[in-house]
Structure 1
Amino acid sequence: MMQWLSNIYRLGLKELRSLRADPVLLLLIVYIFSFAVYAVATGAKLEVVNASVAYVDLDRSDLTGRIIEAILPPEFDTPEEISATDIDRVMNKGDYVFVLYFPPGFEADVIAARLPEVQLNVDATAMVQAGNGSVFLQEIISAEVTKFIAGDDTSTSLPINLVVTAKFNPNLQSTWFSSVMQVINNVTILSVLLTGAALIREREHGTIEHLLVMPVSPAEIMLAKIWANGLAINVAAVLSLWLVVQGILAVPIAGSITLFVAGTVLYLVSVTGLGILLATFTTSMPQFGLLALPVLVIMNLLSGSTTPMESIPDWLQTIMQISPSTHFVAFSQAILYRGAGLNTVWPDMLVMAGLSAIFFVLALMRFRKTMAAN
């Protein structure tokens, strides 16, 4: 047993030295857990920010003026007036996400309770801003019309007292979600790429033949690659959470980092095993990249890190239960967002452990066959 552990340890050190000698992979690890996390968190906004608005005011009344003045930053840019004949042109060019049209006699019709229509043209290709922004504009118009009819600027009280409490993200900032999920997705991507690249590198450098004549087993070689590359990814992920997510982006981490690391270790066994499995079907890095790309896209897009699992068709939800990324995302969200403890996340950890064993065995069987062929 001690010799077995010693072999795994020393082979793992060899993997770390190989990684240290590869500046491209080192740069990739640094980039993907630093700038890539920051850029996605601050650049890919899910909420409405600086949405462009134009308006056509054929009424020129006090009411339309009040509505236009109520459309304010940071959700919207300052509205710009255009002519009615320019609506189709500016929408076709994509100059504005929203164009409001106030017909003649709008204020008089409101006072006379004739239910006038306000046309809101929306560029729905900007899907997130179109959906949320149109709701905001409807609320602004409704609030201003209500206050105008009431004759003062006090808001009309509702027959109920509606209290909305946003848990875990009180300001509804997309940065709180996207930054953490980017780290989680990057763990999956690098786990597959690094271990796969390590095996491909052995072949390209001819060192796989050296391993074949050494008194080591395929299981020892695999475990060495898994712990070495897993260690590098785990350290990079934790540093990213501390320095980038908490430090630069000021996103709070609610739960235990230690528990997160423990679950990540279980997860890394499965995804690094997957990387080795994919690498055994290829002979070069370009082939490996082409094979790994669709697998990673499916794992990330359908794991719940981009959209909720509930929005995925039921049959696809069932299929995705065999993906370790689905359980890792649920596990990570529970800990990092909601501060869950072991008593809450142990089912996901148990499933990840089971899937890790399955993926490891499959990868080991394929790896043995590949080494025997060499």
Structure 2
Amino acid sequence: MRACLSNIYRLGIKELWSLVRDPIMLVLIAYTFSVSIYVAATAMPESLHHVALAVVDQDASPLSARIVSAFYPPQFVTPMLLTPQQADAGMDRGDYTFVLTIPPGYQRDLLAGQSPPLQLNVDATRMSQAFTGNASISRMVSAEVSDFLHRSRPDPGLPVGLDLRLRFNPNLEQAWFGALMEIINNVTMLSIILSGAALIREREHGTVEHLLVMPVSPAQIMLAKVWSMGLVVLLAALGALLFVVQGALHVPVQGSIALFTLVAALHLFATTAMGIFMATLARSMPQFGMLLVLVLLPLQLLSGGVTPRESMPALVQHLMLAAPTTHFVAAGQAILYRSAGIDVVWPQLLAIAAIGATLFAISLRRFRATIAQMA
């Protein structure tokens, strides 16, 4: 047993030295757990942030001024007051996502009991902001008009009061979700890439033949790749969590980082084994890259990290229970967002461990068959 552990340790050190001598992989690791996380947290296209809005105020009334003043940073830029000709030219150039036109006599007609329309021109090529901003602008204008009409009338109040409590993200900060979910997704992506690339790199360099003549077993070779590549991803993820998420983005982490580390380590055991299995199927790095696209996209899109699993078809929900990412996302969100303890996430821990053991056994069998063909 001591000799076996020594072989696994030394082979893992060899993998780490091989990674150090690969500058492309080092740049990928640095980018994935720094710039990629920062961009995912701060560049959320579906949120309203500095939306370009212009107003054509043809009424010039107190009500129109009130409507214009309702749009302010950071959701909207300070509205530009334009003429109709300037607004059309700005929309053609793409300077504005929204142009709100207030017709002449709008306040007068409204006070006379009429329902004069407002015109909202939307640049629909910016689909995410156009969809979200359209509804937000409609609500804001309706609220300002309602307040203006009832400014001199007593508020009857609502028969039922709604006492709203926003838990876990009281200010609805998009960065809180984007940063932490990017770490969770990148752990999966990079662990598969590093473990698979390590095996393909040895095959391309001819070092697999050297391993075949050494007194080491396929299981020892696989375990060495698993612990070394998993350790690199785990340290990079913890560094990103401490220095990028908490340091640069000032996102509070509610739960135990130690418990999240344990869940991530179990998940890395499963995904590194998956990467080795995929590397045994591919014959070169381009083939491995194509296979990675086919596997990684469903793992990230259907595991609950982008869209809640409850909104997916029942068949997809059941199938994705076989993927370790589904349980990792659920456990990671529970720990980092809701400060859940091991008494809450233990089912996900058991599921990840079982899936990881299964994937490792399948990968080891495939790896042995591949080595036998090369011998």
For this structure pair, what is the TM-score category when the shorter chain's length is used for normalisation? Answer: over 0.9
Moved more, 161-170 or 350-359: 161-170
Q: Secondary structure at the match of 1:296?
A: helix
Residue in structure 2 matched with residue 230 of structure 1 by the alignment: 230
Shift of 1:41: 1.4
Q: Is the 8 A contact 2:99 2:120 kept in 1?
A: yes
Q: Distance in 2 between matches of 1:363 and 1:64?
A: 67
* 1:202 aligned partner: 202
Structure 2: give runs of 5+ residues left out of the alignment: none
Matched residue, 1:255: 255
Is the Cα–Cα contact under 8 Å of residues 56 and 83 in structure 2 kept in the other structure?
yes
Query: What residue number does 1:318 align with?
Result: 318
Instruction: Please name the residue that 1:193 is paired with.
Output: 193
Return closer, same or farther for 1:64/1:158 CA change in 2, 3 Å cut-off. farther
Matches of 2:293 and 2:154 in 1, distance apart? 56
**Cα contact 2:46–2:132 (8 A) shared by 1:** no
- The amino acid of 1:218's aligned partner reads P
Alignment match, 1:75: 75
Q: State the distance in 2 between where 1:150 and 1:26 align.
A: 63
CA contact (8 A) 1:48 1:128 kept: no
Superposition pairs of residues 225-374 of structure 1, within 5 angstroms: 225-374=225-374
Q: Deviations over 1:83-141 (max 9, x none)?
A: 44676665454332222232333212211222222232333443432333233322321
Paired residue type of 1:33: F
CA distance in structure 2 between the aligned counterparts of 1:13 and 1:153, rounded to whole angstroms: 77
Give the stretch that moved more between structures: 325-334 or 101-110.
101-110
Greater shift, 199-208 or 108-117, is seen at 108-117
Partner SS, residue 55 of structure 2:
strand
- 2:41 match: 41
User: Structure 1 residues 63-72 or 52-61, which shifts more?
Assistant: 52-61
Distance between the aligned counterparts of 2:239 and 2:95, measured in 1?
41
CA distance, structure 2, for counterparts of residue 289 and residue 156 of structure 1: 64
| AA at the equivalent of 2:367 | F
Which AA in structure 1 matches 2:147? K
Residue 99 of structure 1 aligns to a residue whose secondary structure is strand
Q: How do 1:159-174 and structure 2 match up within 5 A? A: 159-174=159-174
Provide the C-alpha distance between the structure 2 equivalents of 1:123 and 1:162, rounded to a whole number of angstroms: 35
8 Å CA contact 1:71, 1:78 repeated in 2: yes
Counterpart of 2:19 in structure 1 is 19
**Farther-moved stretch of structure 1 (288-297 vs 150-159):** 150-159
- Determine the C-alpha separation between the residues in 1 that align with 2:53 and 2:61: 19
Q: Which moved more, 1:214-223 or 1:51-60?
A: 51-60
1:107 aligns with 2:107: yes
Residue in structure 2 matched with residue 213 of structure 1 by the alignment:
213
Counterparts of 2:121 and 2:277 in 1: how far apart (Å)? Answer: 51
TM-score, scaled relative to structure 1: 0.93
Segment drifting more, 7-16 vs 174-183: 7-16
Deviation at residue 149 of structure 1 after TM alignment: 1.5
C-alpha distance in 2 between matches for 1:250 and 1:156: 42
**Distance in structure 1 (CA, Å) of the matches to 2:217 and 2:153:** 79
Contact 1:109 1:115 in 2 (8 A): yes
SS at 2:56 equivalent: strand
Number of residue equivalences: 374
Moved more, 289-298 or 174-183: 289-298
Distance 1:352 1:229 in 2: 18
- Residue identity in the other structure for 2:107: E
- Cα offset for 1:203? 0.9
Q: Secondary structure at the match of 1:337?
A: helix
The 8 Å contact of residues 45 and 129 in structure 2, kept in 1 or not, is answered as no
Q: Which moved more, 1:293-302 or 1:114-123?
A: 114-123
* Counterpart amino acid of residue 73 in structure 2: P
Q: Please tell me the residue identity of whatever aligns with 1:277.
A: F
5+ long unaligned stretches in structure 1: none
Query: Helix, strand or coil: the match of 1:74?
Result: coil
**Residues 181 and 305, structure 2, Cα contact 8 Å, conserved in 1:** yes
